[in-house]
Amino acid sequence: MPAINIDPGYGRSIHDTLAHYLSHHGVTVGHIYPSSNPLMSINLVAAGLGYTLLPAYAENFMPKDVISRPLSGDLPMSELLMVSPRDASASTPATHHLLKLVRELGSPAAVC
């Protein structure tokens, strides 16, 4: 059955994380259908075109005719970004508070 993978041009982090996970476990993927995002991947699975590995949050988008199962063991990890408007006046007080927490917890080199 073909694999459905996020195209690196659309989601480099997801693509690379899953490629490393599969390689680490000795899985060689044959034919691959590219996808631009997790929802498209789910729709390709629903159409019967293959299987996919996705971040756990994709569980929220599963239609009734698609099943998902969590992986166990040494699970892949993905880096996260904090994204906010550049113009501070467009941010809410809650956003300012969250940015402050991210700055306190994050790497000084990585946080603007």
In tens, the pLDDT along 47-57 reads: 999 999 998 88
Most confident of 1-15, 37-51, 76-90, 93-107: 37-51
User: To the nearest whole percent, how much of the chain has pLDDT over 90?
Assistant: 34
Q: Which amino acid is at 51?
A: Y
Residue corresponding to tokens 């080199």 = 109
Please state whether 96 falls in left (phi above 0), alpha (psi between -120 and 50) or beta.
alpha
8 Å CB contact between 68 and 58: yes
Higher pLDDT, 62 or 74: 62
- SS3 percent helix, strand, coil of the chain, rounded to 5, is 40, 10, 55
